[in-house]
Copies of this chain bind each other. A is one copy, B any other.
Amino acid sequence: MDITKKNSQNIKEILRDQISRQLLLPLQKIPSERELSELFSLTRISVKSALHSLEVEGLIYRENRRGWFVSPPRIEYNPLSRGHFHQMISDQQRVAKTLLLNVKSMVAPSAIATTLKLSKPTPIHIIERLRYIDGRAVLFVENCLISQYFPDILSEDLSQSLTELYAKKYGFRNSCSHFDFIPTSAPEHVIHALNMHPGQQVLKICRVNYNQHNNIIDCEFEYWRPDAVMVSINNRE
């Protein structure tokens, strides 16, 4: 009876259209799954599947049990220009905020020890921070510092740029970094902090930093909401 074979394509097209014509604005809430299912005469499962697919595309995002929202434009993130998160965001006419979540000191667990190429048990600090763009939590960052290189760092303001702190307080310059970009799902504590749901995708970025003496001094794990970012790199050979 229907004109279209797949009804859920309909809802996708209409939402896509409303977003591109700015009838639905960034950060704005989309009607609830139940409302949409009535509007389009579909079950919630079909609606959910359509929304899922727009989520993968990066057009909309989900907050756990709060609803679906329109994604703002992606931030262009150049990881090679290190550290100045707030600068980068304001350069793109957006508003950044950093929240210090947690600081722990411990002996490096095996996964981190491997990343830092540690051959024996070594004390580290782990600094967990949450970063917001335009009031939306989009990035969970975990910095793992080898304690011996950073005496007394925990008494500093840790919501500022760590790279700048490294330079000012310890005279470290970043001579070399190694990056891995992995599309995967986020661990539990990250899911929670970003208000996501277990099994949702994130863009995981692991970086290992070397100082001017070519020592590994720290590593960082970034977990981005995948619709919020686009990694942009310039390479001169």
Contact = CB atoms under 8 A, between A and B. Distances in A.
A6 to B, nearest CB: 9
Contacts of A183: 58, 183, 201, 203, 226-227
Contact of A233 (B178, B198, B236): B178
Interface in A197-237: 198-201, 203, 226-227, 230-237
Interface stretch (A24-32, A85-93, A138-146, A169-177): A169-177
A230 B180 contact: yes
B56 A175 contact: no
Contacts of A180: 76, 230-233
Nearest to A175: B237
Given A56-B200, A199-B52, A201-B201, A181 B231 contact: yes
A57 interface: yes
Given A175-B236, A236-B175, A185 B231 contact: no
Closest 7 CB pairs of A and B: A53-B199, A181-B231, A183-B226, A179-B233, A57-B185, A182-B230, A56-B201
Interface of A: 45, 52-53, 56-58, 74, 76, 79-80, 173-185, 198-201, 203, 226-227, 230-237
10 contacts: A45-B45, A57-B199, A58-B182, A76-B180, A176-B236, A178-B234, A179-B234, A181-B230, A181-B233, A183-B201
A176 B53 CA distance: 35
Contact of A56 (B174, B199, B232): B199
B232 A176 contact: no
B58 A198 contact: no
Q: How many copies does the complex hold?
A: 2
A174 B230 contact: no
Contact of A58 (B57, B176, B184, B226): B184
A198 B74 contact: no
A63 to B, nearest CB: 18
A184 B56 contact: yes
Contacts of A233: 79, 178-181, 233
B203 A57 contact: no
